[in-house]
Protein backbone atom coordinates (compact mmCIF):
# COMPACT_ATOMS: atom_id res chain seq x y z
CA UNK A 1 0.00 0.00 0.00
CA UNK A 2 1.44 3.38 -0.94
CA UNK A 3 1.40 6.52 1.22
CA UNK A 4 -1.46 8.08 -0.71
CA UNK A 5 -3.73 5.07 -0.15
CA UNK A 6 -2.78 4.91 3.52
CA UNK A 7 -3.55 8.60 4.01
CA UNK A 8 -6.86 8.29 2.17
CA UNK A 9 -7.94 5.29 4.24
CA UNK A 10 -6.88 6.98 7.48
CA UNK A 11 -8.75 10.19 6.71
CA UNK A 12 -11.83 8.35 5.45
CA UNK A 13 -12.17 6.31 8.65
CA UNK A 14 -11.56 9.35 10.86
CA UNK A 15 -14.15 11.41 8.98
CA UNK A 16 -16.71 8.60 9.21
CA UNK A 17 -16.40 8.66 13.01
CA UNK A 18 -16.54 12.44 13.34
CA UNK A 19 -19.86 14.14 13.95
CA UNK A 20 -20.57 17.85 14.56
CA UNK A 21 -21.42 17.03 18.19
CA UNK A 22 -18.10 15.24 18.75
CA UNK A 23 -16.26 18.17 17.20
CA UNK A 24 -18.00 20.53 19.63
CA UNK A 25 -20.02 22.31 16.95
CA UNK A 26 -23.60 23.42 17.56
CA UNK A 27 -26.31 21.60 15.65
CA UNK A 28 -28.55 23.71 13.47
CA UNK A 29 -31.86 22.56 12.04
CA UNK A 30 -32.40 22.53 8.32
CA UNK A 31 -30.19 23.24 5.37
CA UNK A 32 -28.24 26.45 4.99
CA UNK A 33 -29.88 28.73 2.45
CA UNK A 34 -28.61 32.05 1.23
CA UNK A 35 -31.11 34.81 2.13
CA UNK A 36 -31.12 36.26 -1.39
CA UNK A 37 -31.71 32.82 -2.88
CA UNK A 38 -34.68 31.98 -0.66
CA UNK A 39 -36.39 35.29 -1.52
CA UNK A 40 -35.76 34.61 -5.20
CA UNK A 41 -37.26 31.12 -5.00
CA UNK A 42 -40.37 32.19 -3.07
CA UNK A 43 -41.10 35.18 -5.32
Over 70: is that where the pLDDT of 24 sits? yes
In this prediction, residue 16 carries a pLDDT of: 87
Q: What average pLDDT does the segment 6-18 reach?
A: 91
Collapse the DSSP code of 13 into the 3-class scheme (helix H, G, I; strand E, B; otherwise coil) and give the result.
helix
Instruction: Name the more confident of 37 and 6.
Output: 6
Please name the helix (run of DSSP H) or strand (run of DSSP E) that holds residue 10, with its range, or none. helix 3-17
Q: What average pLDDT does the segment 16-36 reach?
A: 74
Amino acid sequence: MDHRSEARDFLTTRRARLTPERAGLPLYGGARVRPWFSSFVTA
